[in-house]
Structure 1
Amino acid sequence: MSRVLPITRGRKFAQVLEGARKVFLRDGFEGASVDDIAREAAVSKATLYSYFPDKRLMFIEVFRAELTRETADASALIDVDLPIEQVLPFIVQMISAYMVSEFGVRVFRVSVGESERFPSLAREYYEAGPGQLRSQLIRYFQRCVERGELAVNDFELAADQLIELSSTSIHDRAVFLGPDSIDKELLRRINRGAVRMFLACYGVAGASAAAGSGAGSTRAVAE
């Protein structure tokens, strides 16, 4: 990205961007042709070029728009004032569901496939997606420690571990075999196991007894 060209935003800008999005997520940067993008967007090539002077600039704009759409925002769950045994299963479910979704898999494939061509965008992908989720989890775990629900010394490691536990086997399977290879039962097994292992490592015994939960609640989530 040595030279930045201006982007014109007009009446059909969103239409062009959506057409480019579909083609880039399907074919990647190299495989996407301007003809295919114009056809998908239902506009002429002249209209396409009036908004985006070149394909590279179009890809950058599409990718950044996708980063905004795909950011895993767990803040609504993290701010809920409920025992961790009740909140954690939903956080794990949110992480795993996104990772095996058609949208999540396509964005991941394009991000990895174009990381050498667009290294700054690869960094943006990490910071806006996995990096932001990681920061949200760290803040949440810090609150849980303050409430006496968790015993965590390394918050960054704990956040990374929960993300990895939530994606055990299913992320690779979705990337290489497709999202349809993940059935609901497998997803439930992974989610239950992630919650059970995380609380077994970091949970404080009896921390939620006052809220009527305790060890029995943890077992109920895991089973």
Structure 2
Amino acid sequence: MAERSFLDRGFADTSMSTIAAELGGSKTTLWSYFPSKDELFAAVLDSKIAHFQEELDGALIPTGGTEAALSRFGRILLRKIMAPSSLALHRLIVAEAERFPQLGRTFADRGPDRVRARLARYMSEEMEVGRLREGDAAIAARQFIALCQAGCYLDRLWRPGIVQGVDPDAEVAAAVRSFMAAWGPERP
């Protein structure tokens, strides 16, 4: 209910009173769980991200090698961020972050930063065993995520309602090929 309220009204126009009324409970009860609208928004983000984090962790298992793990990770990432509710949330954050900087920080801390950090840990492990070139794992993680998002995600984000003929699986496959060309192990 709170998520829907934020997405429908925006952060600025969503009030704790309105959410309490929609839930059919008292404002006092809602305030006892969430002392501020910021904390309620953070809880909404946490609920959306928890299962996603587990899926990403499961993708980064060594089965099939580095390319297979990155392919799994990329497909899960694109499926999540291209979901209509995720696109709506991203648009909301972009629209409101200038007026409410804590909103952008909360989103970044709980979403993209966690995803990048998890991928960077995996890449660091792959670098240590020689399956990826040595380098800054955080940069490698940012680059891989950017490659995954470069095509169909950005089209969908900025052109709502237009369904592109782009295949997200093909986008991820291209991202993995490009990434491995740059970060794959050096050939003898």
Question: Identity across aligned pairs (percent)?
Answer: 25
- Offset of 1:57 from its aligned partner? 5.9
Distance in 2 (CA, whole Å) between partners of 1:80 and 1:180 is 37
Give the secondary structure class of the aligned counterpart of 1:142.
Answer: helix
- Offset of 1:97 from its aligned partner? 1.3
Note if 1:187 corresponds to 2:168.
Answer: yes
Change beyond 3 A, Cα 1:67–1:119: same
Change beyond 3 A, Cα 1:75–1:192: same
Structure-2-length-normalised TM-score: 0.80
- Corresponding position of 2:184: 203
- Corresponding position of 1:151: 133
Distance in 1 (CA, whole Å) between partners of 2:113 and 2:16 is 32
Note if 1:26 corresponds to 2:8.
Answer: yes
8 Å CA contact retained: 2:78, 2:149: yes
Larger mean CA deviation between 119-128 and 72-81 belongs to 72-81
Query: Matched residue pairs, number?
Result: 182
Note if 1:50 corresponds to 2:17.
Answer: no
- Corresponding position of 1:62: 40
Give the secondary structure class of the aligned counterpart of 2:98.
Answer: coil
- Corresponding position of 1:171: 153
Distance in 2 (CA, whole Å) between partners of 1:136 and 1:162 is 13
Give the secondary structure class of the aligned counterpart of 1:111.
Answer: helix
Distance in 2 (CA, whole Å) between partners of 1:142 and 1:81 is 17
Distance in 2 (CA, whole Å) between partners of 1:81 and 1:75 is 13
Q: 1:75-113 CA distances to partner (integer Å, 9 max, x unpaired)?
A: 222244541122111011111111211121122122222
User: Equivalences for 1:2-21 in 2 at 5 Å?
Assistant: 18=1, 20-21=2-3
Give the secondary structure class of the aligned counterpart of 1:96.
Answer: helix
Distance in 1 (CA, whole Å) between partners of 2:109 and 2:144 is 18
One-letter code of the match for 2:102? S
Q: For 1:114, which of 96, 100, 115 is the aligned residue?
A: 96
Give the secondary structure class of the aligned counterpart of 2:135.
Answer: coil
- Corresponding position of 1:5: none
8 Å CA contact retained: 1:102, 1:179: no
Distance in 1 (CA, whole Å) between partners of 2:41 and 2:16 is 16
Larger Rg: 1
Alignment RMSD (CA, Å): 2.8
Give the secondary structure class of the aligned counterpart of 2:169.
Answer: helix
Distance in 1 (CA, whole Å) between partners of 2:130 and 2:65 is 10
8 Å CA contact retained: 2:60, 2:72: no
- Corresponding position of 1:8: none
- Offset of 1:52 from its aligned partner? 4.4
- Offset of 1:40 from its aligned partner? 4.2
Give the secondary structure class of the aligned counterpart of 1:29.
Answer: coil
Query: Please, which runs of 5 or more residues in structure 2 have no aligned partner?
Result: none
